[in-house]
Structure 1
Amino acid sequence: MADIQRRPLLRHLRGAPTTYVRHLRRGKPAHEGVGVSFWFRPLSAVISEVPVDDRELPMLFHARTADYQDISVQATVTYRIEEPALAARRLDFAISPDTGAWRSAPLDQVATMLTESAQQHALTLAAGMTLREAITAGPVALRDAVTAGLAGDSRLTDTGITIVGVRVVAVRPESEVERALQTPAREEVQQEADRATYERRAVAVERERAIAENEMQNQIELALREEQLVARRGQNERRRAEEAAAAAWVAAEAKAERERLNATTQAENRRALGAAEAEANTAHLAVYRDMDPAILLALAAQALAEHLPEIGQLNLTPDLLTTALARLGSPRDEA
């Protein structure tokens, strides 16, 4: 909007670099151009202000496809007033000389004209497409159709409006139809998710089975090693028992041999001692055999006296001596 300063009977207008200002005085152009500044009298001045910058116009309209399905098209049209003098003659861009505001709404007229023209071309194209085609290939096709239609619209050309670009943001069906169309895709995605879950579970089960088999193999290996250990211990125990039995047998044989040798030695000693005693007795008896009986009687009495208890007094009678001598002489007579 132009900046207007008020003075008595005069006004000063200072334009902007993006607006075209046209000043008519008595029906003839007094000032016109972009970014102009001038003084004017409010009672005789007619001023128009036309924006020349790029402007974006969002639009939303409904269309029907060939299979009788309603769709909503959301688009944005970028336009520019390329010939502002022509637009000022075709549309009311007049401003108040006191405030600088538009007396009407020219940009609303431009928006209505662009929206109706774009909607007409979009409806024509959508009528020959199915719902799936409109959703999948519709944005690009609608953009091209609306761009070509607006570029060739004579009303826009006669008004001095140039289309800079068209963007179709979305083509969407009704909410119920959209949910119905999304169901197969959702089911497919869910199936993929279920398949991934099953595969993950299968992998987990396979890994668990491998772990269980590994644990079983380890247990079998441990059992085999334990069996080998028990067998080795049994062999060692048997070997110890055999060694102990052999040692005991050797000890017993050694003891028996020692006892046999001791018995043999004792028997030989006894035989030798008996033989020696026998020889001594024989020699002793041989000495007594040729000895005088009186001497023998004296020796017997001496031997008897050595073995008898102490006798204080002994009386020998002839009968007693005769009997004693008879007894002493009896073994010898028998021999």
Structure 2
Amino acid sequence: MATITRYPFVRHLRTAPTSHVVQLRDGTVRRSGTGLSFWFRPLTAVLSEVPVDDRELPLVARARTADLQEVTAQVTVSYRFEDPELVARRLDFGIDPGTGTWTASPLDQVAHLLGELASGHVMDALAGSTLREAISSGTGPLRARVTAALLADDRVAATGLRVLGARIGSVRADADLERALQTPAREQAQSEAERSTFERRALAVERDRAIAENEMTNRIELAGREQQLVAQEGTNARARADEAAAAALIEARAHADRQRVLAAAAAEAARLQGEAEGAAESARMAAYADVPYEVLLAVALRELAGNLPAIGQLTLTPDALTGALTALTAGRGE
């Protein structure tokens, strides 16, 4: 709002950069501009302040669809005062020269005008659509139709306004009716969710089955490999046993051959030794054949004496000597 400073007989007005002030005196425009600051006489000046910034007007528009159902659309209209002097002539934006406040409610008038126009265009746009089409078609087509209709409306241009655009927040039906319309979609979504859950479970079961089959295949393969390993180990053990048996047989045969050779050598040595001893004995006996008996007896006594143990004392009694001589005599007689 404008700031007015009071002085005796005169006033000073200072406006914001987004306010357009029109000063009339005797029905003639004396000053008109944005962000003005000037002196004026309160008894002769007629002042109007029109905001020139962009403004938003939220409203709720009710309409009836082609199937006679009530719907509610949340609409936001963006607008601006394009021609402030024209607006000041068509709407009451006059301000009190003493306080700088509006003497009327011009923004309410603008809101009523734009609200009626936007609601009418919403009703016209939804009149040819069914309830399901109005709710499910989205807000884009409705926003485009309402914006185009407001831009082409002559009353808006005649008031000095410029509509920048319209936004549609939502199009809603009665709560019970909307829930009834949402039921098929909810059921379909629930069915989709259940089908997705079933598919996930089926996929999980399929994955578990694939994992189990893979594990079984691995176990079968491992069992086959283990069987091959056992067979190979048995073959290796048999080969080792055969090799050990062959080596033992060869060793036994070699040992037997050695023993046989040793035995043959020992027998040959014994035979040769026996033959040598026999030959020696024969030669000795042959040598003794022509020796006289007394010589042989003396040799025998010498041999006997050489083989007797050491005698410290020898006592000869007549009886022992008689027996020895008797035996010696008996030997000669034979």
- Which has the higher mean CA deviation after the structures are superposed, 143-152 or 245-254? 143-152
TM-score (norm 2): 0.75
Cα deviation code 1:298-332 (max 9, x no counterpart):
634652675487672523899766532233xxxxx
Stretches of structure 2 that go unaligned for 5 or more consecutive residues are 309-313
1:124-153 Cα offsets, whole Å, 9 max, x none, are 332331112212446344435434554565
Letter in 1 for 2:77: V
Aligned partners of 1:203 and 1:173: how far apart in 2?
A: 41
Structure-2 change in CA distance of 1:260 and 1:67 (3 Å): same
1:105 to partner: Cα distance: 0.7
Alpha-carbon separation, structure 2, partners of 1:53 and 1:165 = 15
Matching residue's letter, 1:111? A
CA distance 1:322–1:178, change in 2 (3 Å): same
Structural mapping, 1:22-101, within 5 Å: 22-25=23-26, 28-29=27-28, 31-35=30-34, 38-101=38-101
Identity over aligned pairs, percent: 52
> Is the aligned partner of 1:112 residue 2:119?
no
Partners of 1:85 and 1:287 in 2: how far apart?
185
Does 1:325 find its partner at 2:332? Answer: yes
Contact residue 5 and residue 11 of structure 1 kept, 8 A: yes
- Residue 296 of structure 1 aligns to which amino acid in structure 2? Y
Report the Cα distance in structure 1 between the residues aligned to 2:52 and 2:333, rounded to whole angstroms: 191
Shift of 1:24: 3.4
Listed as ranges, the matches of 1:290-329 within 5 Å are: 295-296=292-293, 299-300=296-297, 303=300, 307=304, 312=316, 314-315=321-322, 323-327=330-334
Amino acid at match of 1:99: T
Output aligned runs, 1:1-335, within 5 Å. Answer: 1-15=1-15, 18-25=19-26, 28-29=27-28, 31-35=30-34, 38-137=38-137, 139-147=139-147, 149-151=149-151, 155-156=155-156, 158-196=158-196, 199-200=199-200, 205-286=205-286, 295-296=292-293, 299-300=296-297, 303=300, 307=304, 312=316, 314-315=321-322, 323-327=330-334
| Number of residue pairs matched by the alignment | 322
The residue matched to 1:68 in structure 2 has which SS? coil
Task: Report the AA paired with residue 167 of structure 1.
Answer: R
3-state SS of paired residue (1:67): coil
The 1:324/1:61 distance shift into structure 2, 3 A limit, reads: same
Which amino acid counterpart does residue 7 of structure 2 have in structure 1? R
Q: What one-letter code is carried by the residue in structure 1 that aligns with 2:109?
A: Q
Write the deviation string for residues 86-141 of structure 1: whole angstroms up to 9, x where unpaired. 54444333221101111111221121122122212322332331112212446344
> 2:322 aligns to what SS in structure 1?
coil
Contact 1:77 1:167 in 2 (8 A): yes
Contact 1:77 1:163 in 2 (8 A): yes
TM-score in terms of structure 1 length: 0.75
Asked if 1 retains the 8 angstrom alpha-carbon contact of 2:60 and 2:73, the reply is yes
Bigger CA drift: 198-207 or 29-38?
198-207
| Equivalent position amino acid for 1:43 in 2 | L
Distance 1:261 1:175, change over 3 A: same
Change beyond 3 A, Cα 1:305–1:88: closer
Q: Structure 1: give runs of 5+ residues left out of the alignment.
A: 328-335
**Residue 176 to residue 278, structure 1, CA distance change in 2 (3 Å):** same
Structure 1 position 182, deviation (Å): 3.9
Q: Which amino acid aligns with 1:23?
A: L
1:318/1:87 CA distance change after superposition, 3 Å = closer
- SS of aligned partner of 2:112: helix
Q: Give the RMSD, CA atoms, in angstroms.
A: 3.8
Q: Offset of 1:58 from its aligned partner?
A: 1.7
